[in-house]
Amino acid sequence: MSQPNLNPRGESVLRTLIETYLEAGEPVGSRLLAKRFPETLSSATIRSVLADLEDASLVAQPHTSAGRVPTERAYRYYVDRWVRPLPPGPEVESRLAAALLGLELDPEAWIRHASRTLSEVMGGVCVALPMALTQSRLVRLEFVPVGPARFVAVWVGSLGEVEHRVMDNPWNHAPEVLTELGNYATEHFAGLTLAEMRFRLLEVLRASAAEGESLRARLRELAAGWPVDAGSDPVVVVSGLVKLGSQPEFEDVARFRALVAAFEEHGRLARLLNAFAERASDDIQLLLGTENPYFEAWPLATAVRTLALGPSGFVTFAVVSPLRMDYGRVMGGLRWWSDQVQRRQG
My answer on whether 76 and 170 are in the same domain is no
Residues 213 and 185 in one domain: yes
Say if residues 325 and 247 touch (Cβ distance below 8 Å): no
Same domain? For 73 and 155 the reply is no
Residue 1 placed within a domain: no
Domain's final residue, options 224, 255, 289: 224
Range of 52-66, 164-178, 198-212 with top mean pLDDT: 52-66
User: Is residue 304 predicted with pLDDT exceeding 80?
Assistant: yes
Mean pLDDT rounded to a whole number for the chain: 83
Neighbours of 326 (CB within 10 A): 16
Same-domain pairing of 58 and 43: yes
Is residue 259's pLDDT more than 60?
Answer: yes
Q: Is the pLDDT of residue 274 over 90?
A: no
Whether residue 3 lies inside any domain: the answer is: no
Q: Is 320 found in the same domain as 267?
A: yes
Q: How many angstroms separate the Cα of 244 from the Cα of each of 231, 260, 298?
A: 30, 9, 12
Domain boundary among 224, 244, 264: 224
How much is the pLDDT for 162? 65
Contact 25, 248 (CB under 8 A): yes
Among the listed residues 105, 127, 100, the one whose alpha carbon sits nearest the alpha carbon of residue 115: 127
Q: Are residues 65 and 94 in the same domain?
A: no
In CATH, what number is assigned to the domain containing residue 66?
A: 1.10.10.10
Tell me, yes or no, whether 213 and 66 share the same domain: no
Domain of residue 158: give its range. Answer: 138-224
pLDDT at position 312 is 58
Q: Are 299 and 256 in contact (CB under 8 A)?
A: no
Residues 55 and 17 in one domain: yes
CB-based contacts of 255, cutoff 8 Å, min separation 6 = none
Q: What is the pLDDT of residues 143-199, one digit of tens each?
A: 888 766 778 788 787 766 666 677 777 777 888 888 888 898 888 888 887 767 766
Mean pLDDT for 104-119 is 87
Count of structural domains within the chain: 3
- The dihedral built from the CA positions of residue 260, 301, 289 and 47, taken in this order, carries a sign that is positive
- Out of 18, 52, 82, a domain closes at 82
Q: What does the alpha-carbon distance between residue 187 and residue 71 come to, in Å, rounded to a whole number? A: 44
Tell me the sheet residues that pair with 145: 151
CATH number at residue 113: 3.30.450.40
In a domain, residue 209? The reply is yes
Please say if the pLDDT value at position 132 is more than 80. Answer: no
Residue 229 lies in a domain: no
**What's the whole-model pTM score?**
0.71
Q: Residue 84 is which amino acid?
A: R
Q: How far is Cα of residue 97 from the mean position of the Cα atoms in its chain?
A: 22
Q: Does residue 231 carry a pLDDT above 60?
A: no
